[in-house]
Amino acid sequence: MRIVICGGKFEADYIIGKFLEDKHKVIVINDDEQAAKYISEHHRLPVIVADPTKSYTFEDAQIQGADVLIALSENDINNYITCITAQRFFGVKKTICRVLNPKRVEIYKKLGIHTVISSIYMLGQTIKEEANIQSIFKTLQLTDDLITLTEIDIIEEFQLHGKQIQNLNLPPRINISCIMRGNKVVIPNGQTRLQINDKLMIISATTDQKQIHDFIERSRKGK
């Protein structure tokens, strides 16, 4: 693949290294002379010192029809202009725009940039997902923390509903002790089918609790 990397210093350096390892053809453009020198010396690669928001820079660099362009500078607006120019006038197949301000992710996508990445935005997404998982698990430690009671809400996303307990492939040493269904308590056996909104109570050794988390994570991805 032909890959164009615009701006950035350490980020660019790292990404260029990865692409070179995989034998891609890399075109590097950077308007900061020091960053350009750093990258050029590190990878023994020519770096075009020019402003990537100008069309003539792309003409000189011959990026026409490149497979991917990544805009990594610390100026969100310049990255936007770089990507738009590459998409519209140089037939670049995929543009990736880095932004510092996470609020710009959605807007840039609306304005037509193929992919927008923000490290803060991704951190936020991860935290949201983690928080979601945490809220689904409630745990209570008993007898000097050796035994743990884990409570799990069966939400649709888990893809466990409709299955009989004997077919769940629960990890070893993990058994469902009881199920709260509405305000009824169900003492389950292998034939019991799980329903959405069931609350499972699982008593396990505290050391085995991670297995429950992993099991739920797997079912969530539908594996």
Instruction: Report the residue count for the chain.
Output: 223
Compute the least distance from the CB of residue 56 to another protein, in Å.
Answer: 7
Distance CA 207, CA 223 (A): 24
Compute the least distance from the CB of residue 2 to another protein, in Å.
Answer: 23
* φ, ψ at 68 (rounded to 5°): -140, 140
Identify the residue among 1, 42, 89, 142 touching another protein (CB under 8 A): 89
Compute the least distance from the CB of residue 76 to another protein, in Å.
Answer: 8
Task: Assess 81 for contact with another protein (CB under 8 A).
Answer: yes
Task: Assess 85 for contact with another protein (CB under 8 A).
Answer: yes
Identify the residue among 37, 88, 128, 193 touching another protein (CB under 8 A): 88
Helix then strand then coil, % of the chain, to nearest 5: 40, 25, 35
* φ, ψ at 148 (rounded to 5°): -125, 135
Residue 142 burial class via C-beta count within 10 angstroms: exposed 0-12, middle 13-18, buried 19 and up: exposed
CB 151 within 8 A of CB 177: no
Sketch the per residue contact string, 99 through 138, with another protein: x for CB under 8 A, - otherwise: --x-xx--x--xx---------------------------
Task: Assess 50 for contact with another protein (CB under 8 A).
Answer: no
Label the pairing between strands 184-186 and 176-181: antiparallel
Give residues 145-204 in contact with another protein (rule: CB under 8 A).
none
Identify the residue among 17, 33, 55, 131 touching another protein (CB under 8 A): 55
User: Site residues (CB under 8 A) for another protein?
Assistant: 53-56, 76-78, 80-81, 84-85, 88-89, 101, 103-104, 107, 110-111
